[in-house]
Amino acid sequence: MASEKKCFTFTWELENINYCVLKKGTNIKSPAFVVDSIDETKWYLGLYLRGRQDGNFIGFYLYRDADSKGAIQVEVYYELAFIAEDGSVLKSYDKSKFNFPKNHGSGFPEFVKRNDVFISKRAAFLPRDTLTARCRIWKSVGQMSEGVRCFARTRIGVQKRTFLWNVKNFSTLESEKKCSYKIKSIETDASLLSVDLSLTGGFSSEEIIRFELSLQDKTKTFFTVQLYLLNASGNRVQCNHEEFWFDDVSKSKEFKFFFTKSKLIEMKSLYLPDDILSLHWEWAFSKGVISNEIEDVQYSCASSDCKSSNNENLINQKMMPLSYSLNDNLKSLYDENFLCDVKLKTSTSIFPAHKIILSASSSVFKAMFSNDMKENGSNCVDIEDLSDDTINRMLLFMYTTRVEDLTWERASHLYAASDKYAILSLKDICSSYLKNNLSPSKACEVLLLSDFHADSDLKCAVQDYILKHGKQINSDEWKLLMETNAKLAAETVCLQFK
């Protein structure tokens, strides 16, 4: 069996992977490595982090380099895997046999669901935002003279900006009037990005605070934002964590602030001293690959050591990642109502929970329990706008990172709930479900939903769908959209002329 033979093992770590700027169909390449025992052939790995064909999956390939030595075609066994921090295998396929020509690769376009790696099982796959990929190669005929372990690292650079934006006379700010802030490059003084704050009407006459982002530097296509509100004591209250991918820099992005205008004014002594809204911003821009190199190569050890090492690897591969067992334990605490210190109260039910778990999953709950808000003193959170089923599923995700039995209606309700409480990973899961299950009868509904929640990515996806399926869109739904939000309907129609 190939697994019993000596092999060449290539382990590749990708640091700051969340800032890797890739589009669907393009890959990030590992440093090239030479396998001396197989005719000094040259290889590299390729990862399609945003999908090779389907954006819902990560593609993983082994390539033979164009300037590789050796025969025109070289046949090998190979195995690709993603590895956990403890050395256990998180995802792999059975060993494959392939005859590699030069400048050709073989692998899996749907190696693992992107959602698993970046959202639902992120703690296991991406400790410290680092992905570890592994490739093992065996001769198809005969055996290598020695086992070799090669370690490589690719580092994505991150450029950070932090600033304080004081919006004066906030209580008198009028709807649709914009306040602007420009972020400039330290090196060139050129504008990187502009931020516009504005107020728009929402449900129950609540004025929603929106931020619109316009990119000027075309080299900065991906960035993240941490937004805090400074209270009267100068302490930070985390409000938003957002990620933005500018695949078209001509389009702006927008998001909704955690607090509404009325909520801030209601607590103005705490949040609006001297009628000033103080916003602390932390931006992180991707700089692309800044380091890509082989770090270490280890050759065969003594036979007794190798045996011990192999046994250790077998044990590691059977180990369950800590995060999985931890989630099960947390779920049991929730099921048993053990040491619960807060209650989520709907109009019909009460859900006991733990403040620390809610705070870890949601910046909104964290703000409730760490500041002078009524929920912190009463240990009870009234949630009358969400159904019992939605609350139950939201809590299930917060304790286990699992979402079960999603339907269109459940995904829509969970999307709204996760946006309200800033449970970003759950929001991403629901958004993906809505995108992947769009239909002519549901498109207008999702368009309104995405616009209300200032979700530019979901909004663009729905608008593209409507333009492609215009004749199939439900006419009654479109008429209702024009009656309730004529501006949004007109904006969507105008896109076909761009």
> To which residue do tokens 């990620």 refer?
243
What secondary structure does DSSP assign to 60-71, as a single string? EEEEE-TT--S-
* Domain ranges within the chain, ordered by starting residue: 8-157+290-299, 169-275, 325-437, 438-497
Note whether 120 and 401 are within 8 A (CB): yes
Instruction: Report H helices in 51-192.
Output: 114-115, 122-125
Give the Å distances, CA to CA, from 424 to 69, 357, 360, 400, 420: 48, 15, 12, 15, 10
Q: Distance between CA 424 and CA 119 in Å, rounded?
A: 9
Q: Is the pLDDT of residue 386 over 60?
A: yes
Which pTM does this prediction carry?
0.61
Q: Report CA-CA distances (Å) from 251 to 46, 78, 215, 444.
A: 30, 43, 8, 21
pLDDT digits (tens, 9 = 90+) for 15-51: 999 888 788 889 999 999 999 999 999 999 999 998 9
For residue 373, what pLDDT is reported?
A: 59
CATH 3.30.450.40 for domain 438-497, yes or no, is no
- Per-residue pLDDT tens for 218-276? 777 788 888 989 888 888 888 888 888 777 766 788 888 888 888 898 888 888 999 99
Angular region, 24: left φ>0, alpha ψ -120 to 50, beta rest: beta
Which carries the bigger pLDDT value, residue 61 or residue 271?
61
Fold of the CATH domain 325-437: Potassium Channel Kv1.1; Chain A (3.30.710)
Cα 306 to Cα 145, 149, 310, distances in angstroms: 14, 12, 6
In our burial notation (b when 16+ CB lie closer than 10 A, e otherwise), range 266-303 reads: ebeebbbeeeebbbbbebbbbbebeebebeeeeeeeee
pLDDT band at 309 (very low <50, low <70, confident <90, very high): very low
In angstroms, rounded to a whole number, what is the distance separating the alpha carbons of residues 60 and 83? 13
**Cβ–Cβ contacts within 10 Å for residue 497, how many?**
5
Q: Domain spanning 8-157+290-299 has what CATH number?
A: 2.60.210.10
Q: Is the pLDDT of residue 146 over 50?
A: yes
Instruction: Please give the pLDDT value at position 321.
Output: 40
